[in-house]
Amino acid sequence: MPLKIRVKPEGKIFAGGAVLKNVGTRPADLLILSDSPVLREDYMMNIDRRDDSDVSNVYFLLQVIYLFRGKDKPMDNLVVDTVKSFAKLYPQYGAEVDQIIAHLEARETFKALKVAHNLLALNGKPVPPLPAAEQAAALS
């Protein structure tokens, strides 16, 4: 199914392995005809921001899975396990993590990414993880 997307002047999108930039002074309408991953600039995270917080690490991992079609690949279980470990360290995000895992298991990687994007917005300041002793117990 084609996807119509509007790109603001100077805005960027990732589409099918390429980053495209609108160099015009007006919004540009694009029609994506192939089934390929597409991300708007506000959903793209550069690798240098990955270590800003544990939430950004999870987001970056999900972004990679979405962009590079991580469906039914050996890494899928590793991603789910990593997200579950994150939930043990940050129990306040349990509902969001459950949604992310449900979307991953349903092969809806963009929906999982969208939930993680909302977590990033909520995570304006770093949330402390469990104390070290509780972390060890949670991960064992």
pLDDT score for 125: 46
Tell me the three-class secondary structure of the chain, residue by residue: CCEEEEECCCCEEEECCEEEECCCCCCEEEEECCCCCEEEHHHCCCHHHHHHCHHHHHHHHHHHHHHCCCCCCCHHHHHHHHHHHHHHHCHHHHHHHHHHHHHHHCCCHHHHHHHHHHHHHHCCCCCCCCCHHHHHHHHC
Report the percent of the chain where pLDDT is more than 70: 81
Residue 58 predicted with pLDDT over 80: yes
Residues 66-84, mean pLDDT to the nearest whole number: 75
State residue 27's pLDDT score: 94
CB-CB contact of 36 with 17 (8 Å): yes
pLDDT, tens only, 1-21: 688 889 999 999 988 888 889
First to last CA, the chain: 44
Residue among 56, 55, 18 nearest 38 (CA):
18
Q: Which residue has the higher pLDDT, 47 or 38?
A: 38
Q: Is the pLDDT of residue 121 over 70?
A: yes
Give the least confident one: 61-70, 73-82, 83-92, 122-131: 122-131
